[in-house]
Each structure stands twice: as structure tokens, then as C-alpha cells.
Amino acid sequence: MAYASDKDFTQKRLNQPLLNKKWRTEYAGRTLVTIFGIFIILLALTILGFLGYRGSATFLNYGHSVAEFLFSTNWNPGEAGQSGTVGAAIFIVGSLTVSGFALLIATPFAIAMAIFISDISPKIGSRFLRPVLEIFVGIPSVVYGWIGLTVLVPFIANVFNLPFGFSVLAASIVVAVMIFPTIASVATDAMQAIPAEYRDASYALGSTRWQMVWHIKLRSAMPGILTGIVLGLARAFGEALAVAMVVGQSTRFVDSLLSPTNTLTAVITANMGNTVNGSEYNDALWSMAFLLLLISFGFIILIRVLGRKRNEL
């Protein structure tokens, strides 16, 4: 299109329907994004509602108390319309022990790695260690489980002179290796985000590098590091496959690190295909799934609280 003059151009532009232009430049993108956003929110709410509905059947249809589900160790749910007992305490404690102990193993390594990357040797850190961390994250959990099953389980049996090596220890070590990169990379980011002034001021006061790292950087980065730890804990808690392969899946209460036990996720995976909808067994599994969701909500709230703390700094 050619315009006779600037004036002509302005006139033509003004004649275009305003709404049409506004639609293209503003509303189209906004509507699309809003639709996607609402869809995701609805999806989350639907999942929550569905799990709540299926998970409550154990208590509403079969009349079990929440206390029985949470604190009883008597696990013998019925099938074919029969009713039994649904005490899931063994699996709840099993999940807590495995992920808690995994955290104890992984955290020192992860924080050491974060300190190394951010302060001791940033060059090696960014060129070599960061990519290694990313590789760790990319390995599927079944591979970790398989390595654990073939290497770690026989190793534990040999070292401790046990008949078999399936144990909380084996599961914790496998999970620790899985969550270590998550904690390490979040912690590294937190350490690197501390302003350089803090470091400079610390040096100016005559502290050594280690004193600066230990007293200044680590302290300031603590909320961020804790966020990484909670993220790692959430991942550990939700891991099913790798844990199921090495934990032994024995329905017994944990009393030692070398004993086998079972976890919530492993019980769900092992039995969901063998039970039918509406049976007490199936409903008890849904209750466990709902419990897992509630626990992960707890973790998310914790992360939020820690995040707020970090922003206050």
C-alpha cells in the first residue's frame, strides 16, 4: 500500500476498527494464556477431588477410622466385598525412614558440592561438576534401582554378613544418590546468589576463605539450602520404582537399618493391578495415594515458608 502523504497514512490507520487491532495486539495472547492457566488449575483441583473421593471410601464405605489407617500395623484389607484391616503404619513409617535417612546421607555431600562450586573452585564447578550433576538428574530411577539391586544389595549382604541385602539402608543409599543432585543444584544457586559485598566485607575484616564460607555465605544461603533439602525430601518420598526394587517389600515394622520393610509408593505399585475398583483393598490403596498427596502439600507449604524467609533477607 502506498500513501500519498503522512496525513493520509494517519487517517487510514485511524479508520481501522480499533477492536480488531486491540484483539490482535492484546486480547488474543491474553485469552490463550488464561485458558491454559485455568486448565492447569482445574486439572490440579480435579486430581485433588478425585483422590479425596476415592481415598475417603476406606473410611466412609468400610467404616475404618483414620486412626486405624495411620497408626495400626495390621494390614490385611479384604477383597470381593469382604472387609479386613487397613493399618498402613508400617508403610508410612517405612517411607519416612527411607527418605529421612536418604536425606541424612545426601545433604552433607550436596552442601559440600555447593560450597565447592560457588567458592572453592567456580571454574571446575561450572565446567565439570554442574554438567555431572545434570547427568545425575537425567538418569531414570529404574536404572538406579537396577544398579542398587545388582551391586548394592549383594554388597550389603556381604559386608554385614546377612542372608540378604534388601534393607532400609540399601533403599536409602539408592534414594540418596537420586536426590543428591537436586539438593546440590538448588543449594549452589542459593550460595551464588549471595551478594559479593558480603564476601568482600568478610575478607576485609580479615577472615579466611573458609571462615567466610562457613560463617557468612552458608548462614545467608540457609533458607535456599533448606528449600533444596525439602525438594529432595519430596522427591525421595514419592520415589516408588527404585525403592521397591531394593527395600525388600516385607510387611514389617522398621527396627533397624539393615531390615527390609515396605513403603507407601511400593505397596501401591505392587497391588494396584491386582485389585478391583470398589474393593476394600483398592480403596485402601487410594487412601494411601491421598495421604501421599497431603504429605507433598505439606512439603510445598514448607518450601513456601522457607521461600518467604529467603525474600526477607
Partner 1 sequence: MKKLALVILALVLLVGTLSACGSSNASGGQTTNNSPAATTPAGSAPTAGGSASQAAPAPAANVSGSISASGSSALYPLVNIAANQFKAANPNVSMTIAAGGSGTGLNNVLAGTVDIGNSDVYAAEKLDAGDAAKLTDHKVCLIGVAVIVNADVAATVKTLTSDQLKAIFNGTTNNWKQVGGPDEQITIVNRPTSSGTRALFTKWALGGQSSVEGDTSLQTDDSNALLTTVGNTKGTIGYLALSYLNVASANIATVQIDGVDPTYENIYNDKYQVWGYEHMYTNGKPNAQTQAFLDYMMTPTMLTQAGTLGYGDPSKLNADAAKSR
Least separation in angstroms between CB 268 and partner 1: 11
Q: How far is the CB of 97 from partner 1 (least distance, A)?
A: 16
Three-class secondary structure of residue 116 per DSSP? helix
Residue with Cβ nearer partner 1 (172 or 249): 249
HSE, CB side, 13 Å, CA atoms: give it for residue 21.
6
What are the CA-CA distances from residue 103 to residues 97, 176, 225 (Å)? 10, 6, 13
d(CA 142, CA 239): 10
C-alpha–C-alpha distance, residues 122 and 100, integer Å: 30
Cβ closer to partner 1: 196 or 276?
276
Q: How far is the CB of 25 from partner 1 (least distance, A)?
A: 20
C-alpha cell at 130: 554442574
Indicate the residue type of 65. S
CA dihedral 269, 270, 272, 274 (to 10 degrees): 160
Residue 311 burial (10 A CB sphere; 0-12, 13-18, 19+): exposed
Q: Smaller CB distance to partner 1: residue 231 or 247?
A: 247
Cα dihedral value 112, 118, 119, 122, nearest 10: 110
**CB under 8 Å to 61, separation ≥6 — which residues?**
283
Cβ-based nearer residue to partner 1, 232 or 248: 248
**Shortest distance, position 173 Cβ to partner 1, whole Å:** 18
Nearer to partner 1, 126 or 275 (CB): 275
Nearest-approach distance from CB 262 to partner 1, in angstroms: 7
3-state secondary structure 239-250: CCHHHHHHCECC
Strand partners, 280: none
Cβ at position 225, least distance to partner 1 in Å: 36
Residue placing its CB nearer to partner 1 in the complex, 52 or 154: 154
Q: Which of 72, 109, 93, 135 is nearest to 247 (CA)?
A: 93
- The binding site for partner 1 (CB under 8 A) comprises 76, 79-81, 149, 154, 157, 163-164, 166, 244-245, 248-252, 259-260, 262, 267, 269-279, 281-282
C-alpha grid cell, residue 170 = 540399601
In angstroms, give the least distance from the CB of 158 to partner 1.
11
Task: Name beta bridge partners: 248.
Answer: 261
Is 127 in a helix, a strand, or coil?
helix
User: Which CB atom, from 245 or from 303, has the smaller least distance to partner 1?
Assistant: 245
Least gap, CB of 233 to partner 1 (angstroms): 25
Assigned C-alpha cell, 141? 530411577
Nearer to partner 1, 135 or 272 (CB): 272
